[in-house]
């Protein structure tokens, strides 16, 4: 073996290197030749476990060759005789959050807090829509209903004794008609607000901040279905309650101890049964408005869709709706308590002798004061209720998105949509469920020719 062959590294199949030159482990000029001492020969070896001090270089015999140091500075690592460049670290990356919530199945805490964040992210749409579509109509209906009730009752009280019964009956009938009118207006305004809030939450999840005009253009085609669904649910529960009340009245009309006991038993059992049935049914159909708006389904299809999505997640759905409802109810009561206290004090302040006198003017003063307080309380309650409706609808919409993520992988479609939008691609609405492909007819084999 010659001197040139000593110190050369073997080259083989594994001795590959990146472009730019072969980085052998050591070059011939840096390896000691035959009969020479290695660099750093005779230096004191370090004590076991002792590291060089700060700013000190390790001994020469511990340092890699200069060319190898260059490759290491460029990020190449030595594996045996092969130099490889380390690739990107394979770690967990959090899901993207382009908007309101991360694009992944959400825990209960996120579902509970995100609806309140929706009010803050786009208050012009959320709070503005609540006041425009539900708050103002409720206030107008309350003022009209209160004024009509005052006129009817005041006329009945100030009329002659012979006409009071007739006027009181007319006042009661007029109050019922006005109450039904307020229910109709409330149902329509609630349906409008549901459509706007569902569309807003769905677009906020994707990081889009739409104006009211563009959002209304997006959901206006589904408003008729939402109004129809609201009236259908209201009518169904009205019929159920009317049936229980009719049975109670019939049993009570029979007379006798058996009829009275039966009426009481039906009233108690029917009341608790209706409450339990309402909890179960309303929880299972809670996602119908979201399916009507986002998937553009008809009422029957949306009903079946909500029923399937809530299978296996009944208690989560009920818990979220109930907890949000309790929070909003407590806030509304905190706001309404001062008005109730003020209304109870008006009688003693303005008409302290109203209970011990037959003067109708004394009762009129109490009635006017009480109606005025009720109007102010209704206005404040309408504002708080409208904002509460936004929070409840937003919570149910997020629950609908969460259940589709868990059952159908909607989060992958949303991520794909967001990434495609960033690159300028025109992609279809990710919330729409694609129609199933029509089955193709099986191809029949061509019969062979006779004699083949």
Helix (H, G, I), strand (E, B) or coil at 79: strand
Alpha carbons 117 and 127: distance in angstroms, whole number: 12
- In our burial notation (b when 16+ CB lie closer than 10 A, e otherwise), range 226-248 reads bbebbeebeeeeeebeeebeeeb
Q: What residue ranges in 354-433 does DSSP mark as E strands?
A: none
Residue 322 has pLDDT above 80, yes or no: yes
Q: Residue 41: exposed, middle, or buried by beta-carbon count in 10 A (0-12, 13-18, 19+)?
A: exposed
Instruction: Quickly count helices (H) and strands (E) in the chain.
Output: 13, 2
Residue 279: CB partners within 8 Å, gap ≥ 6? 318
Please report how the helices 360-408 and 161-205 are oriented relative to each other, as an axis angle in degrees rounded to 10.
30
Supply 310's token pair: 């809530």
Residue 65 has pLDDT above 80, yes or no: no
More confident residue, 70 or 110: 110
Q: Where are the alpha helices (DSSP H) in 206-313?
A: 212-219, 223-254, 256-284, 288-294, 299-309
Supply 119's token pair: 């009010």
Q: Residue 318: exposed, middle, or buried by beta-carbon count in 10 A (0-12, 13-18, 19+)?
A: middle
For the segment 105-114, the average pLDDT, to the nearest whole number, is: 90
Every domain of the chain and the residues it spans: 108-235+312-419
Task: Write out pLDDT tens, residues 266-313.
Answer: 889 999 999 999 999 999 999 999 999 999 999 999 999 999 999 999
Q: Tokens 């299972």 correspond to what residue?
A: 284
Task: Write out pLDDT tens, residues 363-422.
Answer: 566 666 666 666 777 777 778 888 888 999 999 999 999 999 999 989 999 999 988 888
pTM strictly above 0.85: no
Helix (H, G, I), strand (E, B) or coil at 74: coil
* Residues 155, 167 contacting (CB under 8 angstroms): yes
First to last CA, the chain: 76
Task: Write out pLDDT tens, residues 422-452.
Answer: 888 888 888 987 665 555 555 555 555 555 4
């Amino acid at each position: 073996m010659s001197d040139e062959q000593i110190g050369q590294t073997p080259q083989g199949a594994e001795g590959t290197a990146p472009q730019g030159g072969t980085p052998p482990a050591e070059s011939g000029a840096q390896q000691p030749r035959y009969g020479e001492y290695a660099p750093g020969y005779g230096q004191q070896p370090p004590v076991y476990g002792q590291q060089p001090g700060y700013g000190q270089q390790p001994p020469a015999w511990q340092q890699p060759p200069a060319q190898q140091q260059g490759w290491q500075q460029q990020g190449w690592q030595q594996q045996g005789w092969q130099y490889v460049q380390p690739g990107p670290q394979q770690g967990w990356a959090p899901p993207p959050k382009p908007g309101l919530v991360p694009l992944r199945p959400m825990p209960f805490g996120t579902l509970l807090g995100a609806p309140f964040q929706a009010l803050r992210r786009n208050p012009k749409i959320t709070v503005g829509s609540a006041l425009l579509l539900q708050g103002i109509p409720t206030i107008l209906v309350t003022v009209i209903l209160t004024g009509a009730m005052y006129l009817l009752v005041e006329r009945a009280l100030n009329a002659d004794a012979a006409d009071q019964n007739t006027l009181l009956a007319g006042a009661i009938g007029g109050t019922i008609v006005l109450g039904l009118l307020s229910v109709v207006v409330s149902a329509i305004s609630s349906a409008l607000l549901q459509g706007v809030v569902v569309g807003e939450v769905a677009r906020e999840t994707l990081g889009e901040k739409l104006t009211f005009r563009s959002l209304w253009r997006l959901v206006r085609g589904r408003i008729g279905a939402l109004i129809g669904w609201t009236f259908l649910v209201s009518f169904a529960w009205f019929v159920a309650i009317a049936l229980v009340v009719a049975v109670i009245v019939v049993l009570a009309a029979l007379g006798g101890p058996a009829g009275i006991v039966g009426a009481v038993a039906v009233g108690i059992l029917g009341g608790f049964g209706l409450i339990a049935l309402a909890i179960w049914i309303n929880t299972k159909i809670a996602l119908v408005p979201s399916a009507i708006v986002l998937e553009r389904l008809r009422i029957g299809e949306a009903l079946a869709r909500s029923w399937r999505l809530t299978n296996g997640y009944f208690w989560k759905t009920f818990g979220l709706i109930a907890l949000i409802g309790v929070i909003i109810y407590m806030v509304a009561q905190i706001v309404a308590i001062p008005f109730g206290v003020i209304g109870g004090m008006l009688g003693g302040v303005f008409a302290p002798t109203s209970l011990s006198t037959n003067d109708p003017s004394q009762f009129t003063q109490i009635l006017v004061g009480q109606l005025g307080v009720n109007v102010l309380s209704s206005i404040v309650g309408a504002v708080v209720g409208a904002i509460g409706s936004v929070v409840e609808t937003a919570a149910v919409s997020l629950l609908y998105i969460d259940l589709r993520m868990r059952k159908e992988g909607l989060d992958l479609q949303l991520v794909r949509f967001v990434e495609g939008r960033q690159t300028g691609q025109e992609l279809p609405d990710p919330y729409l469920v694609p129609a199933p492909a029509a089955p193709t007819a099986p191809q029949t084999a061509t019969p062979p020719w006779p004699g083949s």
